[in-house]
Amino acid sequence: MAFELPSLPYAQDALESSGMSARTLEYHYGKHHAAYVAALNNLVKDTELADKTLEEIIKVTYKDTPKAGIFNNAAQVWNHTFYWNGIKPNGGGTPTGDLAAKIDASFGSLDKFKEEFKAAGATQFGSGWAWLIKDGNMLKIAKSPNAENPIAYGQIPLLTMDVWEHAYYLDFQNSRPNFMQNYVDHLINWDFVAHNLAAA
């Protein structure tokens, strides 16, 4: 079963008003994400992994040095799909219901969550990801290098922010802080986060 590049949940220019250009989507989704899918298909073709899901491949290849290339591409396919669904046109705003209560209980306030989330992204040296995860009855902030993600660690991801340079360079040049501020203020899809929390 070959993996396919999933469709975006919005048009490539739909995030323009929220600070992410169509050109960024053209390269980040159309080139980077697509390349991970193509590479993964080439790596697992005619192997015992060919019929496994992305999640299964991530779990069985993590820390398996000979299969590092497979892990990296599988995790990046999963991470990017999760990332695109975690943002939306005119996103940001304020979560509601159980999610809002969990954020307040776990971080003290939405503003505190934003600060901790941005700090995780800012302190991830080089390429990687910042995550909101569910840990027991609480929410926590995590970060991971390169392609690694909470699934590999046995954790439950709710939201991610891509801090690889290609995620923001066309719009924000080398200013990761400006990209992250725009992300938390104008892009987060809280409905997606709430759905993940309810399913956890």
36 and 114 together in one domain: no
Mean pLDDT throughout 91-109? 98
Q: Are 35 and 76 members of one domain?
A: yes
Q: Name the phi and psi angles at 188, rounded to 5.
A: -55, 130
Indicate the pTM of the whole model. Answer: 0.97
Q: Do 113 and 134 share a domain, yes or no?
A: yes
- Which range marks the domain in which residue 185 is found? 97-199
Could you tell me if 143 and 59 lie in one domain? Answer: no
> For residue 92, what are the CA distances in angstroms to 87, 111, 141?
8, 12, 18
Q: 74 and 123, same structural domain?
A: no
Same domain, 71 and 114: no
For residue 178, give both structure tokens.
């400006």
Query: What's at 149, amino acid-wise?
Result: N
Same domain, 54 and 146: no
Mean pLDDT of 119-142: 97
Q: Is residue 175 one of the residues assigned to a domain?
A: yes
The amino acid present at 145, given as its one-letter code, is P
Is residue 138 predicted with pLDDT exceeding 90? yes
Position 73 in a domain: yes
**Into how many domains does the chain fold?**
2
pLDDT computed for residue 61 by the predictor = 98
**Per-residue pLDDT tens digits for 11-48:** 999 999 999 999 999 999 999 999 999 999 999 999 99
Q: Which residues pair with 161 in a beta bridge?
A: 130
Q: Are residues 114 and 179 in the same domain?
A: yes
Same domain, 78 and 101: no
